[in-house]
Amino acid sequence: MTLPAWWKNSVVYQIYPRSFKDSDGDGVGDINGITEKLSYLQDLGIDIIWLSPIYQSPNYDNGYDISDYYQVMNTFGTMDDFQHLLEQAEQYRIKIMMDLVVNHTSDQHQWFIKSRATKDNQYRDYYIWRDPKPDGSAPTNWGAAFGGSTWTYDQKTEQYYLHLFSDKQPDLNWENPDLRQDVYQMMIYWLEKGVAGFRMDVINMISKDPNYPDGERLPTGFGDGGPYYFNGPKIHDYLQEMHNHVLKNYDTITVGEMPNVTVEQAKRYTDIERDELDMVFHFDHVSLGDGRLGKWSPQPWKLTELKSIFTRWQKGLDQVGWNSLYWSNHDQPRAISRFGDDSEHYRVRSGKMLATCLHMLKGTPYIYQGEELGMTNAKFESINDYRDLETLNAYNDLVNRNLCSRAEIIEAIQQRSRDHARTPMQWSNAKNAGFTTGDPWIAVNPNYKTINAQVALHDHTSIFHYYKKLIQLRKQYQVIVEGSYDILLANHEQIYAFTRTLANQTLIVVCNFSKQNITFDLPRSFDLQRANILISNLSDDPLQKDNRLIFEPYQAIVYLIEN
Ligand code: TEU
């Protein structure tokens, strides 16, 4: 029997360095702060750290706008600090994966500074320049992710340059083989330092339709360019070239962040026979409830929709490819606030329920910093407490263009702003939650006095210790890593129940996603009398008569039946 690849039974922990731990009192997290906390992460039991970008950046998009791929960001520390982190992490048997942002750079990258200087230098075609339309308007009607057009006119050379995100993040031209070679050399530089692989930022956006057609008009007033840059014509060529030039020479973990990717496309990206990527991050579940203005017009969602999405991905990648599993990251609101219940009464219980659901699915789980503490969205009252350009642009742009009211955008921001994931990690009930001795770059969530690592570590019933047990179970039971998935009670709107089966072992995972007591029947084919409870988020077992169960609000249980 071939052992599964090491990253298939690993657990990844995402660190957003800016908000994790500040070691030098400047109010911004840094690399030495991460090194300080390796023992905490080893205690949790994680195997790999995904570091959001640590490269030199003007921080317009907090490091997702890189001005030098070979330098560590000044506020994060030095290359020696990073080398020390790598060495110390190895002592703790923790691997480090980097965030590869190569769809675009910062407009302060030397490549772009040279590219925009003249029309005929060697870096001109490192980026995407086009003439205006005959009427002088932008080459296409596409809207940028952070507001406005995806094109900005450059007076000096009288052309527009493309930027799918902000005007300070010009898109790289992957049609250019010289650019691709420079990217591959940079990847080799970091792999030779000992990093274990890459999370690849919007990697399915790097290949654009060379005709740059206009898109269908959206409620935002711009055209939808998505069909012309998501999963583009040469994306598989580029990823296979990257594999052949770089990745095949190292034992790496790779995960591609892919907005708008489908299961069928993900099978092609992650089929081991195709030599592309190990996993992808899809967005189907985190887009639940998106309305006419996307995340800025959030609508209610149904559990059956969530279950259908997870089932589609579990079944779709069961034989070919591999799933990543996540509830949140640095771009998403806090999981408990988004999918659970962040009220004082149900925060811990629903946090454990969400963890049970995700960690019992087939795939590699990703824990976002603070998720293991049950951190919640920050209830910021003022727009002045927010820092994220995406949030601030939406707050101004959507109202100014009469696409929504001020009250509607504030409500949407309080639900979906990326800043909810970016408030400082809550280490203790000390000032600034022990994150910094300085003034934090963004306010600490006021609930840090009761929600913090210090409290969690000393409370054996905390979410932290529950995550720790889930990770231990993954190491103990191969059925969690390799078992096949089947949905139960597919049409139930409160209960998510599914099985995982491998050889003579069957797990029955049951999660109540609601605030109600729910009575339901499990199929009689399962002899619950012979079942052992592997993990439960409540101390009392559910009321049960034969296969009829009564689950309390947000109750979660994993039964193990061995035939
Ligand atoms: O995000 C990609 C992406 O799709 C964004 O639109 C993001 O998901 C959105 O903000 C959610 O509402 C990646 C990075 O994760 C993000 O932090 C960067 O801002 C973005 O790319 C540009 O690099």
Architecture of the domain made up of 110-162: Alpha-Beta Complex (3.90)
204-229 burial, b if ≥16 CB within 10 A, otherwise e?
Answer: bbbbbeeebebbeebebebbebbebb
Dist. CA 66–CA 185, nearest whole Å: 16
DSSP 3-state assignment of 117?
coil
Burial bucket for residue 383 (CB in 10 Å: 0-12, 13-18, 19+): middle
What is the radius of gyration, based on Cα positions, of the chain?
A: 24
Q: How remote is the C-alpha of 552 from its chain's centroid?
A: 30
Structure tokens belonging to residue 285: 């579940």
Q: How far is the CA of 61 from the centre of ligand 1 (A)?
A: 9
Q: Is 224 in contact with 215 (CB distance < 8 Å)?
A: yes
- 455 C-alpha to center of ligand 1: Å? 32
Nearest residue to 89 via CA among 52, 49, 121: 49
Q: Whose CA is nearest to atom 23 of ligand 1?
A: 64
Q: How far is the CA of 258 from the centre of ligand 1 (A)?
A: 10
Both tokens of 506, joined, read: 């069957």
Q: Whose CA is nearest to atom 10 of ligand 1?
A: 331
Residue whose Cα lies nearest atom 8 of ligand 1: it is: 331
Chain-centre distance of CA 72, in angstroms? Answer: 22
The answer to whether residues 7 and 19 touch, using CB atoms and an 8 Å cutoff, is: no
pLDDT of residue 173: 98
- The 8 Å CB, 24+ separation contacts for 148-151 are 148/393, 148/397, 149/222, 150/225
Please choose from 51, 59, 165, 205 the residue to mutate so as to test ligand 1's pocket, defined by most ligand atoms within 8 A of CB.
165
- Which helix (H) or strand (E) covers residue 227, if one does? none
Token pair in block for residue 348: 């811990």
Q: Looking at residue 379, what is its pLDDT? A: 83
Distances from the Cα of 37 to the Cα of 13, 92, 444, angstroms: 12, 11, 19
Which atom of ligand 1 is nearest to 165's Cα? 22
pLDDT beneath 50: ranges in the chain? none
Say how many Å lie between the CA of residue 71 and the centre of ligand 1. 22
Tell me, what's the pLDDT at 3? Answer: 66
Closest residue (by CA) to atom 12 of ligand 1? 331
Q: For residue range 276-301, what is the model confidence (pLDDT) as tens digits?
A: 999 999 999 999 999 999 999 999 99
Q: CA 214, CA 205: separation in Å to the nearest integer? A: 17
CA 432, 331, 365, 66 torsion-angle sign: negative
527 three-class SS? coil
Give dist(CA 393, CA 398) in Å, integer. Answer: 8
Ligand 1 mutation target, pool 282, 331, 418, most atoms within 8 A of CB: 331
- What distance in Å separates the CA atoms of residue 154 and residue 206, rounded to the nearest whole number? 22
Pocket-forming residues, ligand 1, beta carbon under 6 Å: 61, 64, 101, 145, 165, 201-202, 257, 259, 295, 330-331, 390, 418
Q: Please identify, in words, the CATH class of the domain defined by 483-562.
A: mainly beta
The ligand 1 atom nearest the CA atom of 104: 23
Tokens 């454990």, located at residue: 352
Contact 151, 138 (CB under 8 A): yes
Distance in Å, CA 65 to ligand 1 centroid: 11
What stretch of H or E contains 14?
A: strand 12-15
Instruction: Tell me which residue has tokens 């910094």.
Output: 436
Name the residue at shortest CA distance from atom 6 of ligand 1.
145
Give domain limits for the chain: 8-105+177-470, 110-162, 483-562
* Residue whose CA lies nearest to ligand 1 atom number 20: 64
**Homologous superfamily, domain 8-105+177-470:** Glycosidases (3.20.20.80)
* Cα–Cα dist 559/530, whole Å: 10
- Residue minimizing CA distance to atom 17 of ligand 1: 331
Strand partners for 26: none
Beta carbons of 472 and 534 less than 8 angstroms apart: no
Of 62, 44, 35, 12, nearest in space to 422 by CA: 62
**The pLDDT of residue 544:** 85
Kindly name the residue from 99, 201, 390, 419 that is annotated as catalytic: 201
* Assigned token pair, 387: 């820092």
Between β-strands 495-502 and 518-521, what pairing exists: parallel, antiparallel or unpaired? unpaired
> Which of 19, 50, 51, 64 to mutate for ligand 1's pocket (most ligand atoms within 8 Å of CB)?
64
- The residue nearest atom 11 of ligand 1, judged by CA position, is 331
331 CA distance to ligand 1 middle (Å): 6
Concerning whether 546 is annotated as a catalytic residue, the answer is no
Among 60, 201, 398, 413, the mutation site with the greatest number of ligand 1 atoms within 8 A of its Cβ is 201
Return the pLDDT at 2.
57
Calpha distance 166→390 (Å, rounded): 9
Residue 331 · residue 321 · CB < 8 Å: no
* 47 has catalytic annotation: no
CA 339 – ligand 1 centroid, Å: 20
Residue 204 has a pLDDT of 98
Q: Are strands 48-51 and 95-100 parallel, antiparallel or unpaired?
A: parallel
Please give the model's pTM, rounded to 2 decimal places: 0.98
Cα(202) to ligand 1 centroid in Å equals 7
Ligand 1 atom closest to Cα of 332?
11
Between CA 542 and CA 530 the distance in angstroms is 16
Ligand 1 centroid – CA 306 distance (Å): 21
Could you give the CA distance from residue 472 to residue 44 in angstroms, rounded to a whole number?
Answer: 9
Let me know the angle formed at the C-alpha of 255 by 254 and 258, rounded to the nearest 5 degrees.
145
Mapping DSSP to helix (H, G, I), strand (E, B) and coil, where does residue 39 land?
A: helix
SS3 call for 103? coil
- Please give the DSSP secondary-structure letter assigned to residue 61: S
- Enter the tokens of residue 40: 């905490």
CB neighbourhood size of 25 (10 A)? 10
Q: Active site residue: 30, 65, 171, 257, which one?
A: 257
Write the burial class of residue 439 (CB in 10 Å: 0-12 exposed, 13-18 middle, 19+ buried): exposed
Distance 377 CA to ligand 1 centre (A): 18
Q: Which atom of ligand 1 is nearest to the CA of 330?
A: 17
Distance CA 155, CA 216 (A): 28
Mutate to test the pocket of ligand 1, among 202, 286, 288 (most ligand atoms within 8 A of CB): 202
- HEC letters along 358-426: HHCCCCEEEEECCHHHCCCCCCCCCHHHCCCHHHHHHHHHHHHCCCCCHHHHHHHHHHHCHHHHCCCCC
Residues 6 or more apart from 230 whose CB is under 8 A from it? 204, 205, 258, 259, 260, 261
